Amino acid sequence: MEFVQPIRDLKQIETIKRLLKQQSLRDYCLFTLGINSGLRISDLLKLKISDVVENCKIKDRIRIREKKTNKFKNFPLSKNTISAIKEYLKSRDYTENEPLFISRKNKGYLLRQQAYKIINDVAKCIGIKEKIGTHTLRKTFGYHAYNNGYDITLIQKLFNHSSPSVTLRYIGITQDELDDVYLSLDL
């Protein structure tokens, strides 16, 4: 597996959302939910309609058991995420047992390879040069949580990492950013 980067630039995130929304509400919803939940791609792609809809209404929380850790994850959905899910589900017919992110070819779950292609293609389209992949969504969530002042130990707990240093490395905190602490503090 290649080491991929988060999307650090908020303008690039907005551009990606706009482009994905124009080409596919499914892909837009996948990206929006991914960058706002920090879920691993394996968990994101295995979501069912019933994980996000109850009694024909979008739930305000997702409760799942993580595939990798077998731990329960329970988190609220942001306004942007709820809006993206609503828009996407209005565009398709579904039953609550179906995959949330359905493959156009076989009506089953969207495959990891296809999710990679969606994310990678749109990133290249807007000129992102760093390595981008399915883990980019999760890393983008962590990177922006950290940059918005959330404690690294809190993000570590959200990601089920063993230490803050693992989380910092995972979310792509670069040497330049660490150096900036020294240079900007300048007491």
Q: Active-site residues: which are they?
A: 40, 68, 135, 138, 161, 170
Residue 133, CA atoms < 13 Å, CB-side half-sphere: 12
Residues 6+ positions from 177 with CB-CB distance below 8 Å: none
Q: CA-to-CA distance for 40 and 153, rounded, in angstroms?
A: 19
User: Which candidate, 42, 29, 32, 86, places its Cα nearest to that of 60?
Assistant: 86
